[in-house]
Amino acid sequence: MSRAGEMALGIIGSILNVIFLIFVTMAVVGATAADTTELKQMFEEEMMMTDPTMTTEDINMINNGFEATLDVVGVVGWVLVVLLLISVILSIIAVVKVSKNKSPKTAGILFVIAGLLSGILLLAPILFYIAAIMCFVRKNPARHEVDPFYQNDHYETNQPQQPL
């Protein structure tokens, strides 16, 4: 049985996951490597212009919260990068398993795990879920092997054999 549908959905989902992984990695690297001193100065100037009654203690407290937020964004971003990388690896393994048509149930499980790791409402996980459902639902056709001993015309048609 051809499993072209599952393979196509898995490959498209993997490509979308790789693209999303590249964007998230670039964003996390940009956020963690950015020079925050210029950003802090611009932020302080903007706060002073909008509310001249702010003291330096208030501004320092806000800056500390801003730094803590950037640290949390960096950590969460790297966790997201690792999860996306694992998802890409699992989806590639699942596509290979489906292409060999040896264990579609295992490929379906790998597609579900890859979908869970890459997010909930993105396009790639939805494609992985559809491919997983197809892996679980589609059955291999039953092989009907006929014993050559019983391969006579009269057994197939259930008619008595006529003498020659």
Alpha-carbon separation of residue 63 from 38, 42, 49, 58 (angstroms): 12, 11, 16, 9
- With 80 as the cut, is the pLDDT of residue 137 above it? yes
pLDDT attached to residue 129? 94
| Cβ contacts of 24 within 8 Å, gap of 6 or more | 77, 80, 81, 84
Residue 152 CA to residue 164 CA, distance in Å, equals 15
Place of tokens 């706060």: 47
Length of the chain: 164
Report if residue 159 sits inside a domain: no
* Within-domain flag for 86: yes
pTM (whole model) above 0.75: no
pLDDT in tens, 1-42: 688 889 999 999 999 999 999 999 998 888 777 666 777 777
In a domain, 152, yes or no: no
* Number of domains into which the chain is organized: 1
Q: Is residue 145 in a domain?
A: no
pLDDT of residue 69: 76
Residue 153 included in any domain: no
What local confidence, expressed as pLDDT, does residue 157 receive?
55
Residue 134 belongs to what H/E stretch? helix 123-137
Residue 80's domain spans which residues? 4-35+73-138
Choose the most confident range, by mean pLDDT, from 40-44, 70-74, 96-100.
96-100
